Amino acid sequence: MAGHSKWANIKHKKKKEDKRRGKLFSKLSRKIAVAAREGGGDPEMNADLRMAIQKAKDNNMPNDNIERAIKRGTGNLEGMTYESFVYEGYGPAGVALYLDIMTDNRNRTASEVRHILDKNGGNLGSNGCVSWMFQRKGELIIDLNEFEVGEEELLLEALEAGAEDLDYGEDEAVVYTDPSNYESARENLEESGYEFKSADLAMIPDNTVSLDKSDAKKMLRLMEQLEDHDDIQDIYSNFEISEELITEIEAEEN
């Protein structure tokens, strides 16, 4: 169970859906507003805004919320002014952490993120300390319980759609694309009838760090607290936890 793509499978079991959705909508609104401010309010002319809107729609965010976020970004509605940047650091067992941040107060956010890391066996690092361990890719996750398709067939369809690679697992398949081909590959696969559990640009680790039970518990606790922080848009990491260990930890907590 690798750090980024599988974190969603863990966290939904640990949070109430209404609380999670409210926080998610807030983060998506920020993403849309920043994209609109930096590239204009027309999604046809602004790829970042177009993808932010698509991500909001993927998560069933109402159109009224999307429109308000765009207007805040373009200055047609009053609201907070957010800046976006990246924090890099480490978690338990030297796990790499790459955090996409959007905040209206950089100093406050730095202090709060540093506190979360410090109390959970991690630390904030300098710019570039872990980014070299990741590659930005398009990531399209298909639920194999919803779509019965073999690995070879899906790989051929993905490559024809413009993807680069496929990670085929027991319950889900992850299609990877070059960032420049992400939107077209997604559209081509949707035209072939596929829907996605998750679809976005992501930072994919070149290698992973396998965690034992003690470090896995610490890492999951850290991920929950980072996820809860309003200013952290996305968390990318290179930890790996086996399915068996996840099940064991969940049994102990319930």
- Domains assigned to the chain: 7-74 (1.10.10.200)
Phi, psi angles (nearest 5°) of residue 4: -85, -60
Q: Which residues in the chain show pLDDT less than 50? A: 1-5, 12-14, 16
Question: How far, in Å, CA of 139 to CA of 126, rounded?
Answer: 27
The pLDDT score that the predictor gives to residue 5 is: 46
Among residues 217, 230, 192, 237, which one has the least CA distance to residue 112?
230
Do 23 and 11 touch, CB atoms closer than 8 A?
Answer: no
Q: Where are the beta strands (DSSP E) in 163-219?
A: 165-168, 172-177, 198-205, 209-210
Question: How far, in Å, CA of 89 to CA of 251, rounded?
Answer: 30
Among residues 88, 96, 17, which one has the least CA distance to residue 59?
17
Q: Where are the beta strands (DSSP E) in the chain?
A: 83-90, 96-103, 123-124, 134-143, 165-168, 172-177, 198-205, 209-210, 232-237, 239-240
